[in-house]
Amino acid sequence: MMKNVKKASPEFAISETFVWWDMDSCPLPSGYDPCRLGPRIDTELKNLGYNGPLTIIGIGNLEGVPHDFLKALSSGGVVIKQLQLGSNMILCVNEALNSSESRFQPPLTMMVISAVHADLLEEVVSVFYIRGALYNLLLAYPYVTEHADPEPSSLLVDNFGGEWVWDRFGLLKDSGSANEIRRQDTGCEMHFCGLCDLSFPSFDDFTTHFKTPPHTDKMDKYLSYLAWKFNREAESYEAHKLREPYLAKVKAKRLEFIEFDNYFKDDDEDDDIPKTEKAS
């Protein structure tokens, strides 16, 4: 499903396009061939007139992701990056937008694939809006995170070059033909391990690095951090659930006290009235 999709305007037709894919929040549907993802996105963008250099970046926690899956992604033209400790894909996108590197200068199109749609609206869209007309945003997200407003504001419509739903009926509506070929990218992005702050020109070097003791030690710390973060969020959620009925009881008691206090105030006012006035 596509929403508010526009053809590429002349300034974006041959300029750089960067695709940022949040592998954690937007996994591929079960059974979808990972080597077809790059060509599928490429074809979809070409159909809209985006014919300039294309770089597709997959970002996430790669611990436990099968080697064959990553290799298939890489063969389809996806550059793979392991997240840094405490980072997320939105921070990576904002960092790129604030970069002085020539490849991120306007005119520039960025396609963001992520389930954290509310955060995207607040952070990324505002950055694109401030940057002006030479920055173009494309967005894909799962159906369940679609913004609730069926008629989005003019700010969104004017600044989104296109919106897709991330499923087999949207951006991934088909895997493309076997002859579908991914256009050659610039080669300016390399596979990257955010935990160790190391870049790798080849996929084999990248995955070999995962087996080294320095990386495995940092991965253990990263997983411990994720567990700690999850527990903190779970505790906060449970505390919020317990807090609501408690506050409701406090509010009820407060209203009860106010009614009780008003009752005695009314009674005191009656006592202050002179007896002659009461008799009359």
pLDDT tens per residue, range 188-241: 688 999 889 999 989 999 999 999 999 999 888 888 887 887 777 777 766 666
The DSSP symbol for 6 reads -
- Is the pTM higher than 0.95? The answer reads no
Please say if the pLDDT value at position 81 is more than 70. yes
Question: What is the rounded CA–CA span in Å between residue 91 and residue 138?
Answer: 17
Helix 117-131 to helix 89-97 angle (10° resolution) is 0
Instruction: Find the mean pLDDT for residues 14-38.
Output: 90
Average pLDDT, the chain: 77
For residues 241 and 155, which has the higher predicted lDDT (pLDDT)? 241
Please say if the pLDDT value at position 154 is more than 70. no
Q: Count other C-beta atoms under 10 Å from residue 161's C-beta.
A: 24
Please say if the pLDDT value at position 153 is more than 50. no
Percent of the chain with pLDDT over 70: 66
Give domain limits for the chain: 2-211, 229-275
Question: What is the rounded CA–CA span in Å between residue 109 and residue 270?
Answer: 76
Identify the pLDDT of residue 5: 73
Question: What is the rounded CA–CA span in Å between residue 157 and residue 259?
Answer: 51
